[in-house]
Structure 1
Amino acid sequence: MSGPLRVLGIESSCDETGIALVELPEGVGGAAPPRLLAQALHSQIDMHQAYGGVVPELASRDHIRRVVPLLRETLSGAGLGLDAVDVVAYTQGPGLAGALLVGTGMACALGMALDRPVLGVHHLEGHLLSPFLSVDPPQFPFVALLVSGGHTQLMRVDGVGHYTMLGETIDDAAGEAFDKTAKMLGLGYPGGPALAKLAEQGDDAAFKLPRPLMRGDLLDFSFAGLKTAVWTQLNKLDPAAEDAAQARADLAASTQAAIVDVLVAKSLLALKQTGLKRMVVAGGVGANRRLRAQLDAQCRRRGVRVHYPELHLCTDNGAMIALAGAMRLQSGRAQASREYAFDVRPRWDLSTV
């Protein structure tokens, strides 16, 4: 295809509805980087807060309400109409089945109505490639630390679609450890940002908490034991004590420190084992300030470049889905299809993509 190629991205895997339009300035055969023309995002945080977590049925219904208005907002922001869309990319998995069906159904309906091809995208590949939309995009190859709500993975990335799993969580992911600890402390939903905010007031050395699987050369993660240790310490606290509030802040800080220490140590080990000098950190937990500060400091000493997506692209969003679709097309790793019969993949291993 000559001229620019515009890819519309639709994200609906969990509790954010995202629409975005990304352009390949030189089309599929060109080498110019994709650029974000416009995006719109709606978060369901306020709706789910009352329940302390995501309610799948409510999430699906809200995606249905939001997807068309967000599509109109995105096209308006880009100053373009539906006829300007060349390919519709959508999150096919992993995620909540009902939520995925909303975005997938919308994408395939749009594709059929416009006579445009569609392309299913892996949600985590979207996170993985999202730093390519930043002001400081990475270059292949690199080590990637994917840290989102339900996933903690280390991967070697040699190119689009060339992913080698180095290590992953064997029970609770880092995001789950943040969220579950926050829930124990009564911080509500979403837990990660709330825990990080409380941790700013605490002493991160006040409680001695475990750093699981830190011995040897293993790159897998385990945070279930840390969660149990936090629960044990919390039960020892006296809620009526004069320093109860400070103790809770100290426990939050100590928990955050334990999680970050593990993530940083495993990342450095992965860099050492691969011999690579470039790293990408992506996913919601990648926005954590302590993680960024420690990883930046440690990598700087080792001559390693670290790349992050912009903060507004750390959460689930349509831009990362449009980008992943565009980069797959540009690299020849995928072809969009006019086959509009669809299914979703709630469980989908990124290493198989």
Structure 2
Amino acid sequence: MITILGIESSCDDTAAAVIRDGILLSNVVSSQKVHESYGGVVPELASRAHQQNIIPVVHEALKLAGVDKDELSAIAFTRGPGLMGSLLVGTSFAKGFSTALQIPLVDVNHLHAHILAHFIKAEGEDKKFPAFPFLCLLVSGGNSQIVLVKSYKEMEIIGQTIDDAAGEAFDKCAKVMGLGYPGGPIVDKLAKEGDPSKFKFNKPHIQGYDYSFSGLKTSFLYLLRDEVKKNPNFIEENKKDLCASLQQTIIEVLMDKLYKAAKDLKIKDVAVAGGVSANSGLRQAFEDYRLRYGWNIYIPKFGYTTDNAAMVAISGYYKYLDNDFCSIDAAPYARLTV
């Protein structure tokens, strides 16, 4: 039996999960509410909270899995990218725990892990996995990429944002409207009651499969500026329509490039991953494209869209099978692409 403990601490969620022979036994996440009043994640506060949470979270994950620490085969941890202070907490704990137990250490790329979340399987679950090679739209607050996934280990970015990420566009536009943090889920909720065709925003014209969201964001801000001059209550009176129109535009930009890549590469297996994959409009767009173009689509469970340790554990499991371990002196990294 191969039993992997996964540890995730790249941003503001402290998480631990246990996977045995590819089957998820537990997945525990402790979220940090302290950042809400600041309108964004405060790195120093995040790292302090990780220090407080990591031991209880790991203990709970092992307890729920019914696994003793001596049964573990390896410790998998998020090495990066992410906030350096947060990563250091998870990395240090993983190193200490693996040394104490005298078991291997497996480093995991956070972005790879989001993609490999599609291979997480629960006990008794009849689940179909994407067939290699497949395309994955990786969308979050920090990343908007189209990734050609050739195997569990070989992944190639064929398109990415040249400026802002899709999640960043959601959050910044929501902040300007005074909707709170994180803005993406709030926009999604309000958009369900709005008219997506009410307002038109700038769509970028970028070559290839790359994205750009800065122009869209700027056109959104200019619209608010001009309309609020005429009517101080414009945002409040049009909040739902603004959210629906913004969301629709972002989704159209994302899907247009993804469709182009799938068509050019003649790939039918298409997945989505990352925090923005929880967006209901994007999920519906994938369903629409499945019906229209015959795609085999893979949409993660909501629990696997945001940062979690199950995706780290499954990534660690496949690396363990390849004897792909890391040394005890491996340092975390704040920035790295797929």
* DSSP-derived class of the 1:206 partner: coil
Partner of residue 209, structure 2? 219
Equivalent residue in structure 2 for 1:125, among 104, 112, 131: 112
Partner of residue 97, structure 1? 84
Partner of residue 6, structure 1? 3
- Give the C-alpha shift of residue 287 in structure 1: 1.0
Partner of residue 161, structure 2? 169
- Give the C-alpha shift of residue 300 in structure 1: 2.2
Rounded Cα–Cα distance in structure 1 between residues aligned with 2:246 and 2:182: 16
Rounded Cα–Cα distance in structure 2 between residues aligned with 1:47 and 1:302: 44
Alignment deviations for residues 150-172 of structure 1 (CA, whole Å, 9 cap, x no partner): 00000111111211221001000
Equivalent residue in structure 2 for 1:83, among 61, 70, 77: 70
Partner of residue 179, structure 2? 187
Alignment deviations for residues 9-32 of structure 1 (CA, whole Å, 9 cap, x no partner): 0000001111001112xxxxxxxx
Rounded Cα–Cα distance in structure 2 between residues aligned with 1:191 and 1:54: 13
- Percent of residue pairs identical: 42
Alignment deviations for residues 287-323 of structure 1 (CA, whole Å, 9 cap, x no partner): 1111111122123221110102211111000100011
Rounded Cα–Cα distance in structure 2 between residues aligned with 1:255 and 1:320: 30
Partner of residue 63, structure 1? 50
Equivalent residue in structure 2 for 1:51, among 34, 38, 55: 38
Equivalent residue in structure 2 for 1:200, among 160, 184, 192: 192
Rounded Cα–Cα distance in structure 2 between residues aligned with 1:213 and 1:207: 19
* DSSP-derived class of the 2:325 partner: coil
**TM-score (normalised: structure 2):** 0.95
Alignment deviations for residues 144-192 of structure 1 (CA, whole Å, 9 cap, x no partner): 1101110000011111121122100100000100111111111111111
Q: 2:35·2:42 contact (CA, 8 Å) conserved in 1?
A: yes
Rounded Cα–Cα distance in structure 1 between residues aligned with 2:4 and 2:66: 15
Equivalent residue in structure 2 for 1:158, among 150, 154, 162: 150
Rounded Cα–Cα distance in structure 2 between residues aligned with 1:318 and 1:166: 26
Does 1:274 pair with 2:265? yes
Q: 2:319·2:325 contact (CA, 8 Å) conserved in 1?
A: no
Partner of residue 20, structure 2? 23
Uncovered stretches (5+) of structure 2, i.e. residues with no partner = 122-126
Alignment deviations for residues 216-263 of structure 1 (CA, whole Å, 9 cap, x no partner): x61000001111111111112349666652312211111111100011
Rounded Cα–Cα distance in structure 2 between residues aligned with 1:188 and 1:301: 36
Structure 2: which amino acid aligns with 1:171? D
Rounded Cα–Cα distance in structure 2 between residues aligned with 1:278 and 1:69: 39
Partner of residue 348, structure 1? 336
Does 1:137 pair with 2:129? yes
Does 1:287 pair with 2:283? no
Partner of residue 305, structure 1? 296
Rounded Cα–Cα distance in structure 1 between residues aligned with 2:23 and 2:108: 18
Alignment deviations for residues 182-215 of structure 1 (CA, whole Å, 9 cap, x no partner): 111111111110111121222111111012126x
Q: 2:137·2:147 contact (CA, 8 Å) conserved in 1?
A: yes
**Consecutive aligned runs of 4 or more in structure 1 exceeding 6 Å deviation:** none
Equivalent residue in structure 2 for 1:37, among 25, 34, 54: 25
Uncovered stretches (5+) of structure 1, i.e. residues with no partner = 25-33
Q: 1:276 to 1:60 in 2, by over 3 A?
A: same
Structure 2: which amino acid aligns with 1:342? A
Q: 1:242 to 1:231 in 2, by over 3 A?
A: closer
Q: 1:242 to 1:50 in 2, by over 3 A?
A: closer
Rounded Cα–Cα distance in structure 1 between residues aligned with 2:62 and 2:167: 33
Rounded Cα–Cα distance in structure 2 between residues aligned with 1:242 and 1:75: 52
Rounded Cα–Cα distance in structure 2 between residues aligned with 1:241 and 1:225: 24
**TM-score (normalised: structure 1):** 0.91
